[in-house]
Structures are given as structure tokens and as C-alpha cells.
């Protein structure tokens, strides 16, 4: 079972989603994340996942073209921009989409920005847990 989470820059939402899907998916599920661009893994994404007990500090920001030859079962876009720019995959993968807010665009105090990351982390956690229950197990 191969699952790809796709976002714009593979720095926040898709990285957080990869962490949660790796946590919830059964053994043998290969979870990948990529972007239609690469921006590096956002340090706040790493920090907010660490608060939840998930280590994504070793994740890398990957371009979707790196996975052209992987036979995906599921492709999940986590932002509208990635959905619109998602390249054609010669695959029978089921495609899903959920437009999560981009916590990296948060403004305000440090605490307000951290809270924006936490809110998105929890939205993605619930989505990943329910997705695994409904589609993978």
C-alpha cells in the first residue's frame, strides 16, 4: 500500500500529514509526501509535531517528480494549489483532497502563530486517523 500526500512546498501541511499517516497507518503502508515545489521542512512544523510526540525532524522536502515510478494506491492533496497543479500520474490511485489552512501564513504574536500550527496539526490528525479507518484498514 503506497500513499502520497501532496502540497505546494512540502514544508508544513504535507509533512505534518506524513507524520500522522505514518503513526496511524498499519504496518506495510508506505507513506510519502511531496510538493509541486520544495521549500524545506518548516521548523515550526517539526516543533508542533514534537509536542504531539511525533518526530518528523528527519523528513526531507521532496518534489513530486521524484515519485513518478511509485505505484500509488492513494494520492491526497492537502491544499487547493497542489490539487490544481497536481501532475498526471499514470496510476490507478484513488485521489482525495482536503484544503487545510496554511499555518506558515499565520500572523500575530509568536504564541498566535504557534496556536495556528497546533490547530492545523489537530485538523490533519483527525483527517489522517479517519482516513486510515475508512480507507486503509
Confidence check: pLDDT of 7 > 70: yes
Phi-psi category of 108—alpha, beta or left, where left has phi over 0 and alpha has psi -120 to 50?
left
CATH entry, 2-136, from 3.40.50.2300, 3.10.20.30, 3.90.180.10, 3.30.43.10:
3.40.50.2300
Which residues partner with 77 through β-bridges?
A: 6, 97
Of 118, 76, 116, 110, nearest to 93 by C-alpha is 76
- At residue 83 the predicted structure's pLDDT band, cuts being 50, 70 and 90, is low
pTM attached to this predicted model: 0.93
Residues catalogued as catalytic: 7, 79, 86
Strands 94-97 and 30-35: unpaired
- At residue 88 the predicted structure's pLDDT band, cuts being 50, 70 and 90, is low
Task: Compute the distance between CA of residue 7 and CA of residue 37 in angstroms, rounded to an integer.
Answer: 8
Amino acid at each position: 500500500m503506497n500513499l502520497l500526500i501532496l502540497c505546494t512546498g512540502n514544508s508544513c501541511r504535507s509533512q505534518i500529514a506524513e507524520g500522522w499517516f505514518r503513526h496511524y497507518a498499519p504496518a506495510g503502508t508506505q507513506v510519502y509526501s511531496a510538493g509541486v515545489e520544495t521549500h524545506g521542512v518548516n521548523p515550526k512544523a517539526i516543533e508542533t509535531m514534537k509536542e504531539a510526540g511525533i518526530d518528523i525532524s528527519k523528513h526531507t522536502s521532496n518534489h513530486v517528480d521524484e515519485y513518478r515510478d511509485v505505484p500509488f494506491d492513494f494520492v491526497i492533496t492537502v491544499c487547493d494549489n497542489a490539487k490544481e497543479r497536481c501532475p498526471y500520474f499514470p496510476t490507478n490511485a484513488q485521489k482525495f483532497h482536503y484544503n487545510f489552512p496554511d499555518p506558515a501564513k499565520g500572523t500575530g504574536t509568536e504564541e498566535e502563530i504557534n496556536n495556528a500550527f497546533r490547530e492545523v496539526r489537530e485538523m490533519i490528525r483527525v483527517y489522517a486517523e479517519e482516513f486510515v479507518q475508512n480507507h486503509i484498514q
